[in-house]
Amino acid sequence: MKDVLLNVFNALFVTGPERTILSYEANPVIRQMQQLKRDSQSDILFLLDNVDQFMDGDEEKANFVTFLQRLRGPKTGKSKLKILLTSRTALRHGDSLDVENYEVKALDKASSSALLQTQGTRSLEGNQSEKLIQMCQGNPLILNGMAAILRQEIADAEQLLKAIELHEQEVVEPPETGLPPTEKDEKEILMLKKKELIKSKRTA
C-alpha cells in the first residue's frame, strides 16, 4: 500500500529536490493500471482511501483531478475502470470529471452493536456495550479498534471504559481550523490508549 501511495504522490507532485520524479507513463501504478485496462475482460476498481492528503491546496487539487482524468482515460466509450475515493470533504472538480458524491453516515446503534460483538467479544454486559457504542459515535474505525482491544484481551470492558473516560477528562486544545479531528488523529488517539492499556497490563 505504501508503494502505491508513493507512486501516486510521484504522479501528482513533480517538483522539489527530495522527490524521486518519474514520468507519468513510467510510473508503476499508472503503467499497471493501463496494462489492466488493456488486458482485463471485467471491470476494474481502483480505491484510494483518505484522499484529503492529496488536496491541501488549489494546485494539489488541480494535479489530483488531472491525475484521475489521465488514469481513467478519454470520456469516449465506456471505461472498464471505476475509481472509488474516500475523503472527509467532497471533491470539487467542476465539470472536468464525472463524479458521484455519497455521504457516508455514522453507523446506527444496532449496526454498532453488531460490529462490536462480532469483531470483539460477546461477553459485554448491557451497560458496558451501551457506553462503548455511545463513545464511538457510530465511527467504524473506532469501533473496530475497540473490538480489537477486547478481542486480544489487552483490556476488559471496564478497563477500556475507564481509560476512555480518563482521556475525555483531559483538556484538549481544539485545532486552529475548528474542524473535528481527522481519521488519522482518531487512530493515533486509539493507538495511544491501546499502548497505555498494554503497559498497564504488563505492570499489573
Residue 138 three-state SS: coil
Residue found by looking up cell 507513463 in the block: 25
Along the chain (204 residues), what's the average pLDDT of each consecutive run of 10 residues? 51 48 62 80 83 77 79 71 82 68 87 85 74 86 84 76 69 46 56 59 58
Residue 114 and residue 16: Cα distance in Å, rounded?
A: 48
| pLDDT value of position 14 | 47
| pLDDT value of position 111 | 92
| pLDDT value of position 122 | 64
Cβ–Cβ < 8 Å for 16, 59 = no
Residue 114 and residue 101: Cα distance in Å, rounded?
A: 27
Nearest to 106 by CA among 79, 141, 74: 141
Alpha-helical regions (H) of the chain: 2-12, 28-39, 58-72, 109-119, 126-136, 140-151, 157-169, 183-203
Q: Which residues contact 37 (CB under 8 A, 6 or more apart)?
A: 44, 73, 79, 80, 81
| pLDDT value of position 178 | 46
| pLDDT value of position 84 | 87
| pLDDT value of position 61 | 79
| pLDDT value of position 189 | 58
